[in-house]
Chains A and B, each alone.
Chain A
Amino acid sequence: QKEVEQDPGPLSVPEGAIVSLNCTYSNSAFQYFMWYRQYSRKGPELLMYTYSSGNKEDGRFTAQVDKSSKYISLFIRDSQPSDSATYLCAMIDNYGQNFVFGPGTRLSVLP
């Protein structure tokens, strides 16, 4: 079993839809959780950075962390064609020793 599993996708949704992207992990040492967006031929761009369990909202994006279930989610409201990209979850332990990325989910938002 991989340390971090992510819905493989690809995922296609119509413009305006609510998108749910999910990751599960096995290592309870992970304490910091991140979501990155990566456009083709570009480096990843940080979207959300969270530490504790619960929800964090930033504009159309909401990150949700459930440490007891070892499950994190990213919700995108009112999705736009410009949201079409690969989304990567990432997590790291308290010491910065174990930094792991999910394999990514490719999202296409169709106009």
Chain B
Amino acid sequence: KAGVTQTPRYLIKTRGQQVTLSCSPISGHRSVSWYQQTPGQGLQFLFEYFSETQRNKGNFPGRFSGRQFSNSRSEMNVSTLELGDSALYLCASGGEPLPNNEQFFGPGTRLTVL
């Protein structure tokens, strides 16, 4: 079974731009969660989608948004990028919605904002 895939793996943007990251879950998984990982703040939960609906949201500004498609693939968008948005963005998939699932993480997209 193929794992969680994320594209692109690396991205460089400048302040003020926007970015869209993509996540393809494990086949059959309907829950996709997004996380931001930085050296200073560690791993932080952004939001979770299940069957195309956002179920949970972490404590991030509205510049961070996402969506999920009918095939469970998910995208995350960050608008008006700030230097502090430089991070590793991880997505994870699970068969059931949080908290009732074991999540499997993708390799992440490393975003650098200049």
| Chain B positions near chain A (C-beta within 8 angstroms) | 4, 33, 42-45, 48, 55-56, 58, 90, 92, 97-100, 102-108
Contacts and interface: CB of A to CB of B under 8 A. Distances in A.
User: Which 3 residue pairs across A and B have the least CB separation, nearest first?
Assistant: A96-B98, A43-B105, A101-B43
B103 A46 contact: yes
Contacts of A102: 42
A99 B58 contact: yes
A19 B97 CA distance: 32
A103 B43 CA distance: 7
Given A43-B105, A99-B45, A103-B42, A94 B90 contact: no
Contacts of A104: 42-43
Considering residues B42, B90, B97, which has the most beta carbons from chain A within 10 angstroms of its beta carbon? B42
Nearest to A96: B98
B102 A43 contact: no
Given A101-B42, A101-B43, A96 B107 contact: no
Interface string A71-101: 0000000000000000010101111110111
Contact of B55 (A31, A49, A96): A96
A42 interface: yes
Contacts, number: 53
Interface of A is mostly: strand
Contacts of B48: 96
A45 interface: yes
11 contacts: A42-B107, A43-B4, A43-B108, A44-B105, A46-B105, A95-B56, A95-B99, A96-B55, A102-B42, A103-B42, A104-B42
Contacts of B103: 46
Interface in A49-78: 49
Nearest to B50: A96
